Every structure is written in structure tokens, then in C-alpha cells.
Amino acid sequence: MANAAQQPCQLTSNNGKIIPKPLLRIPTTTAPLGMPIGATPNCNASPSSSTPTLPIAMPMTHGWHFSKWASDIGLNTTSTAQSWNSARTFLPRHSRKRFYEHMSTIMTGIPWAVSIDAGDRRYSPVVEEPSLQAMSFGLFDDSFMHKSHELSSGGGFNERCWNAIGRGTRWQHGVCGGEISYYSPNDQRNFLCPEGMNGHTWVEQAAKYHITFMISNDAPRGGVATPEKFREGSMATGYRFVVRQCETNGTVTRIRVTNEGVAPIYRDAWFAIGKTRSATSLRGLLPGDEFMVEIPAVPRTDGTDVHIVSDHILPQQQIEFEAK
């Protein structure tokens, strides 16, 4: 399209706010790993020849569950540990590798994450196996922002694991998040303090580790995490789409969009005018980057029919953007 034929089009931010990430449908099942849905567990039983061993049972269950719900589920966090008769039993090292390999064949379209403990050679083969490091899984940190989380604190186990398995770029294709620490009863209650906690602010840490999601269910009990603070905290995570330019020649509309968040979106989403989508997905647009998307349609004068659509959010939800 010739530039001379382009005319600017008016866009407004959706309701004046941005949702860092959509809430996604997660199917609910209660069957333990290694058991068919509907089966009744026998907690006193011992493994027998008819009972799948853990290296087999876990992939079997994950394969059934996630192939069935691949178009709906938004995120999975998984572990290579399982319990039997109340004893915590870890998979043998070679079986953990098989587990990762199996998961990578199933989770081709679903973001999935593993514990940052996998960055410790004592527990996992990942850091020593280039084929495993090349997989697109993300990371889950279940003691985020605890007192000794950072190397600068004199401890740093968590940060070392992030560095070992993430190498600074895993977040670009694997979703990262976790749970605020329970090391202290006040960690979850205070992590949103403006002055920070344990020497670091939430905004600082969310940006450093490119956080998309975080569990913090005790936070409302502390008096710090008001609804507005939660909103601000959420806005410091995930993606944030900003439209810098919109123009049309009467047939095709071009939108220049940038990501001003701390992480990309990990599932496909498209700018659309009415029901007409762009051919270019926003998935993978990194913070600070921008590109042009083209939509073979023309927006209304006020631009209210320009929106972002995704097949992985609920009908009553929307992915919002800011227009500048």
C-alpha cells in the first residue's frame, strides 16, 4: 500500500485499562497422576504388576488430560515428583528425562512450567542436557521474594536456579511465575509494600524475572494488598499492548503495536476489526519490540470495533490495549 493513500484512524484505549493476561479455562479433575479419571485410589495398596509405574503412569495421565483439553487450558505447572504410601519419591534420573521429553510432545500449544529446582544438578538432568534446555517450558518459583532469594542476599539458591535453567532468555518462549514465599508468615502479606520486602520491590522483581503470573492468596490478610494495590501489582506483570499508530487506505487497516510489559503473551491473540482478524498473531512480541499488523477491513470512525481476540479466553473476557 502506498503511504500517500494512508489516512490516520482514531483508536481509544479499552475502558482505560490493560489486562496483563487473560484468565483462561482450566478443566477440573481430581484423579491422582497415574490413575484413569473415575478410578478410586487405594491409599494402602502397594505397586503391583497391574499398576503402571510412575515413569509410565505420569506421562499416560498427562497425555490423556492435556490432549483432551489442549484448546482450553491456559497453563500447566508440573513436577517430576510423586508420592506413594505417604513417602515422597522422586523419579529416577533417566525417567525424569523421559518425562520432559514426553511432556514436550504433548504440550505443543499449551504453556507449561517446571520448578526452578530443575536448575539444580542434584535434582534434575535439565542443565546438563542441551536437548532438554532447548524445550519451551517456563519456570515456577514456589518461594518468590523470600529473604535469601537473591544472590546479593548471601544465599541466592533461587536466583542461581533461575540463571542455570533460564540463562536469561527462557522467559522469551516459556511462561514464568510462581508463588510468593511462605518462609515468613508476613512474606505474602507484605510483598506489595511500596518500600519493598527483603530489600526488593515487587515491581523490580517482576521485571527482573519477567513474571506473568504469581500466587499470593494470603496477601489480602495483611492490610497492604488493597484491591488497588493488587491491580497495580498485576499491571507490573505480563504483557501490555500499546498501539502507536493506526492508519487505513479505505480497504486495509495497519496498526503499529508495541509491548510495554515485562513478558510476551504465550498464546495466540490477534488484532481484529469486528470479526475480521489480522493474519499476524501477537504471540511472542517481546517487551520493547513492535511490529505492524494488517487487517483487511476498515474501522468505525471512533475505532470502537478495533479489539484483540483470542480463542483461549472466555466469551465475557477481553484482552485490552492502550492507544497513544
Which cell is 250 given?
Answer: 479505505
Which residue, chain included where needed, has cell 479433575? Answer: 29
Q: Are strands 76-78 and 87-90 parallel, antiparallel or unpaired?
A: unpaired
Helix segments in 181-226, DSSP class H: 187-190, 202-208
What is the distance, to the nearest Å, from the Cα of residue 149 to the centroid of all Cα atoms in its chain? 21
Q: Are 312 and 72 in contact (CB under 8 A)?
A: yes
Cα–Cα dist 4/186, whole Å: 60
Cα–Cα dist 90/88, whole Å: 7
First to last CA, the chain: 23
Which residue, chain included where needed, has cell 511462561? Answer: 175
Q: Assign 97 to helix, strand or coil.
A: helix
> So what's the architecture of 3-18+239-323 in CATH?
Sandwich (2.60)
Q: What is the pLDDT of residue 53?
A: 42
Q: Are 91 and 124 in contact (CB under 8 A)?
A: no
Q: Which residues on adjacent β-strands are paired with residue 137?
A: none
Q: What is the pLDDT of residue 21?
A: 44
Q: What is the pLDDT of residue 166?
A: 84
Q: What is the pLDDT of residue 164?
A: 94
Q: What is the pLDDT of residue 268?
A: 95
Q: Which residues on adjacent β-strands are paired with residue 177?
A: 140, 213
Q: Are 179 and 215 in contact (CB under 8 A)?
A: yes
Q: Are 259 and 288 in contact (CB under 8 A)?
A: yes
- Domain segments of the chain as ranges: 3-18+239-323, 89-235
Cα–Cα dist 289/281, whole Å: 14
Q: Which residues on adjacent β-strands are paired with residue 136?
A: none
What is the DSSP code (8-state) at residue 155? -
Q: Are strands 253-259 and 241-248 parallel, antiparallel or unpaired?
A: antiparallel
Cα–Cα dist 23/119, whole Å: 28
The segments of the chain whose pLDDT lies below 70 read 1-5, 12-92
Q: What is the pLDDT of residue 305?
A: 93
What letters, b where the CB count within 10 A reaches 16 and e where it falls short, cover 119-133?
bbeebbebbeeeebe
Measured from the Cβ of residue 80, the count of other Cβ atoms closer than 10 Å reads 26
